[in-house]
A and B are shown apart, each in its own frame.
Chain A
Amino acid sequence: MRPETEAELAEVIAGRETPLWIRGGGCGGVLPEGAEILETSGLAGIRLYEPGALTLVAGAGTPLSEIEGVLAVEGQRLAFEPSDLRAVLGLSGEPTLGGVAAMNVSGPRRIQAGACRDFMLGVRYVDGLGTIVKNGGRVMKNVTGYDLVKLMAGAHGTLGVMTEVSMKVLPMPEAQGCVMIDGLSPEVAVQAMSAALGSPFDVTGAAHLPEGVDGAQVTMVRVEGFGAQVEYRTGKLREMLARFGDVRVEVDADKVAAGWAYVRDLTGLCGVDGDLWRISVKPSDGPTVLAALGARKAQMDWGGGLVWAVVAEGTDVRGRIGTDGHATLVRGGGQPRFHPESPVNARLASGLRAKFDPKGIFNPGLMGA
């Protein structure tokens, strides 16, 4: 089904007793075969955009590409840098604002700018009883009542169908630069990235690719800003990181952008058979986790704190990542997608799901019990 308005959606849900799977662009690849689908594409369109207030409000079914296009005209962007995993997941379709919000999809800049959830100012959603609820708003500072916006972000559709999302947007920087070191082991790479991230130079990306674009190991550190600023900061970082190896600096905007798109979209992991895992850990644990995975191919982002790995089908990596972190199965099957929560947190989460979706209609069994 494909409701055209929020009211129509609410009516459908109110009368519904059996499960529904929410589909934005369908690029997440979670929809089970034969499931009854709720399309959000009818709930689309940009409803408000005020560049001077850094705010955009759009229907949840709005294609991300449309939003990014409109922002680009004003020299602005979604600063959490949503990735595009279509290639690595082997899926087509148009990712939507609602899909990205429901997954809390955040790219390399997450370490500096924040995650998708940090840029979500407000939501409207329909809960499992067909009630229309709004939370948050369109202003940047808002502590009026509980923050259900965060709860909807990353709920993977299990608490309700978002119909509208308000986002904080940011200016696109004038320039970007990348500082690179070749040939570092993952351990030394994380030390170098920690040094860069602990500097005052406002690093907006820090990644290590065991096999970079040209097949060799590369550690990458990004800065963004005004031209003079990028020149100054890359220079400082070059000096600072010289003790780790030979440092190269790239300030050609297209090349820097291409390099980070490669990291963001997991281009290096495309075409490798196996299960794809996303593992968030304490950055200094990254190399240990990497070694323990026995991955066919892997990369580290977020200064070591985000490991993406392709491993043999059916491997459960969750026992190999220590206790401070979690792993999500992004591509693959045969086991739960999400990391088991502690018993208390699992009880709270299932309590919340029971309140928001008492009939158990939305994406049943995707998260938790």
Chain B
Amino acid sequence: MAVAERAGKVLEARGLVKKFGEKTAVAGIALDIREGDFTGLLGPNGAGKTTTIKMLTGLIKPTGGEIYYYGRDFFTCPKDAKRHIGVVPQHSNVDRDLTAYENLYLHSILHGIPKKRRREKIYEALEFAGLLDHRDRQVKTFSGGMKRRLVLVRALLHGPGILFLDEPTVGLDPQIRKNIWDLILKINQQKGMAILLTTHYIEEAEKLCRSTYIIDKGRIIIKGAPDDLKKDIGGYVLEIFREDGIEEAFFASKEDALERLRGCPHTCKVREVTLEDVFIKLTGKRINV
């Protein structure tokens, strides 16, 4: 696509490896992210998603590999790179003892937002998150969804070029999850910000991400647009419920699948392929068990 060609590279990572003692959490991951991209890292628990994000944001040091932001080496000028990074960590790290306003104010100092512009920016962020009326409440009194929205707008306050979202909706109920999704899509569309999101929710990756890296055991097993990945294995799946388990067969069209279904002696079901099927096909196991 022509637009993607022209869009500048925001982040490039090569051969990222992280070992914790004997254990290899990330075993050589490469990523490319351009302006305005919405990229997903989809994988089961323990796949190495958080570890990857932490390396990319400077929270832990990689055992090996290279990271570039806007073509510049992350490790030789981390301060420069960090100005372009916004992070929503998996474990909410808002300051419980501060109010929402104070949390954002702290962020504005740390990121060098000029004093004159702080108040205005903070109010704008609170408004965006729907937290304006709660600005002077201590965060320890917030619900999970409110905290998540606060962390989200805090990560945006300094106008980063790329936003990292580590499992942004984990532990939230479906209504609030939807609410956060809308907010994230708005950020990507309105602000044109590149987003790298990790998740183990299939639906989240399919709904939000324009391209997905599926990872398992610290490795990328496949990457591409969710629709392409699904099309590659067939688009439609026929599930045959046998006594000894479920057999799956993939088809390019619904008609083909229904054709095969005819005369099948077992209980059968035809449905659209999901990224879960892609994962199962490649690894032989499910993402969510």
Asked if A pairs with B, the answer is: no
Q: Which residues of B contact A (CB under 8 A)?
A: none
Q: Which residues of A contact B (CB under 8 A)?
A: none
